[in-house]
Each structure stands twice: as C-alpha cells, then as structure tokens.
A and B are shown apart, each in its own frame.
Chain A
C-alpha cells in the first residue's frame, strides 16, 4: 500500500476569507505573532500496489480535473513513505 498526498491551496492572488477568519481568531485566543493564514485542503490517496510514474501522472490528472480548480487553486503531489 502506498499513500499519495495531494495538497491544494488557493493561488496567492485569490482572497481567502476562511484563512482571514482564522487569522483574526488567533490573537483573540492569545496566539500572537502570526502575520497571515491561508487555508487549504489535503487529500490522502491510498493506492493498492506500488506508485509508478504512470499512476503518478494519473493522480496529477485527477488533481487537475477534480481535486483542484486550476482557475483559483494550485496543487502539489507527493508520495508519502
């Protein structure tokens, strides 16, 4: 079994109201010194069998078509050992 992790983040120029809300809550709870928060999504894909280049390419395709919206989001794919 292998696990591939896809992280999806809003592009830097896209407003992130959720991140801003979290950022606003931190000092209210006494957590100081955080200058910005951006919130994203993490997908953990469990595969049966090994991770091959072909399967990684397929996962990148899935990341681009379903897991992220390339108009507003960037993604990274990595294999977790």
Chain B
C-alpha cells in the first residue's frame, strides 16, 4: 500500500513520516507541494513543520498549494488523510476539519512526551488501537490550541469525532483537551502530537505512535 507524504517548503517531519510508513509495512511515496499528481497513492500524510514559514497563519498558504487541490478532492471521495501538527493546521484551514488552532495559551513552544487517550478507535488511522487506551506520543507545537464554537465542540463529542485527548496538564489550552479530531466519515484525521516520532524505541519515548500507520494500511487492505 502506498502512502504519500507531502513536502511543503518548511516541512520538517516529512522524512520521519515516510520512515514511519515504511516501518509499519507500507510503501512511502514522497509528494511535492507544487505538483497536483498524487502518484497513485492510497492515502496521504500532511507532515509537521512550518509550511511557508507559518506566514499569515499556520497552514493558511499551504492550503492553496497545487497538491492540496488533489488532496482535497481525494479526501472528499474517501481517501484516508492524516494531518500531523502543521498538517492538522492545514486540514483546518482547508475546512476538511472544523475549528482552528491558535497560539498556545501559555505562549511557550511546548516539546514533551505527552500522555493521550485514544477516544475513537474506529477511524481509518486509529483502528489498531483499543478504544480508551492511554499512550505516550511526542508533542511539539507553538500554535496547538484547538478552538471551535460550542455547537461544533458538542457535535464533535456527540458524533465521536474527538480522536485523542490530552491527559494531565493541558499543554496548549486546547478546548476540552482535544488533541485530535476526525471528519464525520473518519477518513480524515488531524492530530497535534507526532506519532511519527514514536515508532522506534531508539529515538522516541515509546512505539505508541506506530498504530496510526498500521491502522491505515489495514484499512486500505480491507478496501
């Protein structure tokens, strides 16, 4: 199964995301922001970093990159798409996911091993977790505060679209401790923590992030 990882100018974690895909048993394919061609991939990861220098707003300019035209239409027709950190910001700016991400409440860049609870194990990217399981995944962001109006938040909760929640101290002021959400269909997931940095005991706090990548491969094999 081919999983594309988009590189924007300013992406940082594209290489780690490709490595995570390969470790999970998939075939990572590098995609370029300036090309519309998705090169026959079955799923797409929008990686972390500072696309276009975070100019204007995080993800605001990346949203209009040529590759995003193809990603948007593929996502709408059901292709699994995972946005990690800056990728999550891009998905919100694209309106593929509701809400927005704003500067951390405490105004500091946060970088730490974060405890999370996986709240929804039925999305394309989380099916290999046990629902309610607690995991440790690296978190690093300056603008990771998830905000949405109360109606949207209530809908996300009611429809089970909250995918992951922060445990312990809320690291960035995210409303209702939200660390990640999915669209209604469950094929598009946005996540502030970085599962691609938690796939190898040698250089991460755990391998708790790997199931994000094995989940999508399993999902694709089913289809």
A positions within 8 Å CB-CB of B: 10, 14-15, 17-18, 20-21, 66-67, 69, 71-72
Contact yes or no, A15 B107, CB < 8 A:
no
Tell me the bound Cα distance from A5 to B148 in angstroms.
28
* A17: contacting residue among B64, B99, B105, CB under 8 A: B105
Size of B's binding interface in residues, CB under 8 A: 19
Tell me the bound Cα distance from A18 to B106 in angstroms.
10
B19 CB-CB contact with A under 8 Å: no
Contact yes or no, B57 A69, CB < 8 A:
yes
Tell me the bound Cα distance from A72 to B60 in angstroms.
13
Contact yes or no, B56 A66, CB < 8 A:
yes
CB-CB nearest in chain A for B61: A66
* 10 residue pairs, one from A and one from B, having the closest CB atoms: A71-B100, A17-B107, A72-B100, A17-B103, A21-B107, A69-B100, A69-B57, A14-B147, A17-B105, A72-B147
Contact yes or no, A14 B102, CB < 8 A:
yes
Contact yes or no, A17 B104, CB < 8 A:
yes
- A–B pairs, 21, beta carbons within 8 Å: A10-B102, A14-B102, A14-B147, A15-B105, A15-B145, A15-B147, A15-B173, A17-B104, A17-B105, A17-B106, A18-B103, A18-B107, A20-B107, A66-B56, A66-B64, A69-B60, A69-B100, A71-B98, A71-B99, A71-B100, A72-B100
Tell me the bound Cα distance from A17 to B172 in angstroms.
11
Tell me the bound Cα distance from A67 to B60 in angstroms.
9
**Hey, which chain B residues are within 8 Å of A15, CB to CB?**
102, 105, 145, 147, 173
B92 CB-CB contact with A under 8 Å: yes
B93 CB-CB contact with A under 8 Å: yes
Given A15-B145, A15-B173, A66-B56, are A71 and B92 also a contact pair (CB < 8 Å)?
Answer: yes
Instruction: Report the minimum CB–CB distance from A6 to chain B (whole Å).
Output: 12
Instruction: Report the minimum CB–CB distance from B22 to chain A (whole Å).
Output: 35
CB-CB nearest in chain B for A68: B57
Instruction: Report the minimum CB–CB distance from A12 to chain B (whole Å).
Output: 13
Tell me the bound Cα distance from A70 to B64 in angstroms.
16
Further pairs besides A17-B104, A17-B107, A72-B147: 15, Cβ < 8 Å: A10-B102, A14-B147, A15-B105, A15-B145, A15-B173, A17-B102, A17-B103, A20-B107, A21-B107, A66-B56, A66-B60, A69-B93, A71-B92, A71-B98, A71-B147
CB-CB nearest in chain A for B57: A69
**Centre residue among A18, A20, A21, A72 by max chain B CB count within 10 A:** A72
Instruction: Report the minimum CB–CB distance from B52 to chain A (whole Å).
Output: 12
- Give residues 82-128 of B contacting A (CB, 8 Å): 92-93, 98-100, 102-107
Tell me the bound Cα distance from A5 to B67 in angstroms.
31
Tell me the bound Cα distance from A14 to B98 in angstroms.
15
Tell me the bound Cα distance from A20 to B103 in angstroms.
12
